[in-house]
Amino acid sequence: MGVGATPLEKLLDALDALDLDGAMALLAPDCALLMCDGGRAQGTDEARAQLSDLLEHLHSTSHRISNQWQVGDVWIAELEADYELSDRSRLLGLPRAIVARAGSDGIAELRVYGAHEHALYDGGDGDGSMVIGGRYMPPL
């Protein structure tokens, strides 16, 4: 997204490039993360571990922002995410909402929310569990 891009756009560009160092460069040292799978991080060491875990399970990813707002030092975005996992399976068009608060030295707080719609019965093994990035993703 380049010059003039918002902090969210820059972060998504780095993640879409699978660039952990580029993403980390955008986060404040005392950043707080809340991921859509419930993962949490406080500070760059924990944030690096969270993002590294995410990226190690991906072959590629892309995000498309459909709406974005700025209120003071807070950015809010609605978007869709596509993931191609390391086993080449794909998760496409997953709805996301992201809230980011900027600090004096980077993104101080990042909250990612997601919705995963699945049929009530998908013919699977019946336990209804879903694992993304090595974590159980509750259906509700």
Residue 1 is assigned to a structural domain of this protein: no
Residue 101 is assigned to a structural domain of this protein: yes
Residue 95 is assigned to a structural domain of this protein: yes
Residue 48 is assigned to a structural domain of this protein: yes
pLDDT band at 69 (very low <50, low <70, confident <90, very high): very high
pLDDT digits (tens, 9 = 90+) for 75-89: 999 999 999 988 898
Domain that holds residue 79: 7-116
Measure the CA–CA gap between 71 and 2, rounded to whole angstroms: 21
pLDDT digits (tens, 9 = 90+) for 99-115: 999 999 999 999 999 87
pTM: 0.80
Residue 126 is assigned to a structural domain of this protein: no
Q: What is the CATH number of the domain that holds 28?
A: 3.10.450.50
Residue 93 is assigned to a structural domain of this protein: yes
Question: Does residue 25 come out as left (phi exceeding 0), alpha (psi in the -120 to 50 range) or beta?
Answer: alpha
Residue 110 is assigned to a structural domain of this protein: yes
- Which distant-in-sequence residues (6+ apart) come within 8 Å of 124 by Cβ? none
Residue 15 is assigned to a structural domain of this protein: yes
Q: How many domains does the chain have?
A: 1
pLDDT band at 38 (very low <50, low <70, confident <90, very high): confident
